[in-house]
Amino acid sequence: MLRESLEYLAIRPDGIYADCTAGLGGHTMAIAERLTSGLVLSCDRDAESLEMARSNSADSSRIRFLKTSFARVGETLAAEGFSQLDGLLADLGASRYQLTSAERGFSFSADGPLDMRQDRSQPGTAADLVNFESENQLADLIYQFGEERRSRRIARAVVRARPIKTTGQLAKLIEGAVPRTGKLHPATQTFMALRIAVNHELEELDALLESIPRLVKPGGRAVIITFMSLEDRRVKHAFQAMARAGSAEILTRHVVRPSEEEIAENAASRSAKLRAVQLS
């Protein structure tokens, strides 16, 4: 949703912007192209993705790359000398690189180690959760973060099959434990739940949302793109709370979805939802 993101950011050529999810650098470069004396701070907790974003940026004179998480973005920007922003963008979820790199273990499309860490310098992998959580804890995790109603059956099968070391092994196990009921592979929601848990994604998102009124100056804008209902509800409720407190105006009275053309070109975008506010 590049076009929509830029539209709602309403970029000023001399503004200071933060792309809190650099990924491979697409949004970062698009923002930088619209700047003259301004700057875009391209942030990501994944050092490898950040390096790819840097490599993909032909002209980085308007870009500064920073390794940081949502929870630490405020202190990171302050350390760089930036107190407030003209705009902030966060495009949530795993990047294309993470999902297509077998060694990162985010997807079962190719067999790889059960890792799923966005920041590989941090401890605690998906394999740790799968192999050492209790059956009840694992079932609760899969149900709460993956919204998977068959979490008890999946957790029981996982515990009985331990140790589990690879994405392919886990996906095959889940496929044998619960039947396919639609287009989604039976392991999809479990993999999503493990990724959220490993990276503390909901806590990180809450920290970012809580910091927006401090990070973005009056008249500046915050744009968030989500792909899961768990995230979208958090963004919706946080923006509504800002509006009730008088600290922001909601720009998207109804959630913005990708165009039919974008979905046709990129099927993964079909679940994207964009919300935006302007700070008061």
CATH code of the domain containing 119:
1.10.150.170
**Amino acid (1-letter code) at residue 31:** I
Query: Looking at 90-94, 237-241, 243-247, which range is the least confident one?
Result: 90-94
In terms of Cβ atoms closer than 10 Å to its own Cβ (0-12, 13-18, 19+), residue 34 is: middle
The per-residue pLDDT for 117 is 96
Is the same domain home to 124 and 157? yes
Q: Give the pLDDT mean for 75-90.
A: 94
| Same domain (yes/no): 146, 234 | no
**Do 156 and 81 fall into the same domain?**
no
Same domain, 87 and 216: yes
The residue range of the domain holding 164 is: 103-199
Q: pLDDT by residue (tens digit) across 37-54? A: 999 999 999 999 999 999
Whether 128 and 88 share a structural domain: no
pLDDT in the model for residue 238: 98
**CATH number (domain holding residue 54):** 3.40.50.150
How far apart are alpha carbons 69 and 71 in whole angstroms?
5
On whether both 93 and 212 belong to a single domain, the answer is yes
Q: What is the pLDDT of residues 175-211, one digit of tens each?
A: 999 988 888 899 999 999 999 999 999 999 999 999 9
End-to-end CA distance of the chain: 25
| Domain identity same for 107 and 189 | yes
| 195 and 131 belong to one structural domain | yes
> Average of pLDDT values for 153-168?
97
- Whether 225 and 183 map to the same domain: the answer is no
Tell which of 199, 220, 249 closes a domain. 199
Single-letter residue type at 221:
R
Q: Is pLDDT of 95 > 90? A: no
Determine the pLDDT at residue 278.
Answer: 98
Q: What is the pTM of this model?
A: 0.94
What is the predicted pLDDT for the residue at 58? 75
Name the residue with tokens 């979820």: 93
Same domain, 224 and 142: no
| Co-location of 190 and 108 in the same domain | yes
Among 182, 199, 216, identify where a domain stops: 199
Claim to verify: residue 91 and residue 135 sit in the same structural domain: no
Task: Tell me the percentage of the chain whose pLDDT exceeds 70.
Answer: 100
Mean pLDDT of the chain: 94
* Total domains in the fold of the chain: 2
> What local confidence, expressed as pLDDT, does residue 159 receive?
97
- Please say if the pLDDT value at position 112 is more than 90: yes
* Domain-terminating residue out of 178, 199, 220: 199
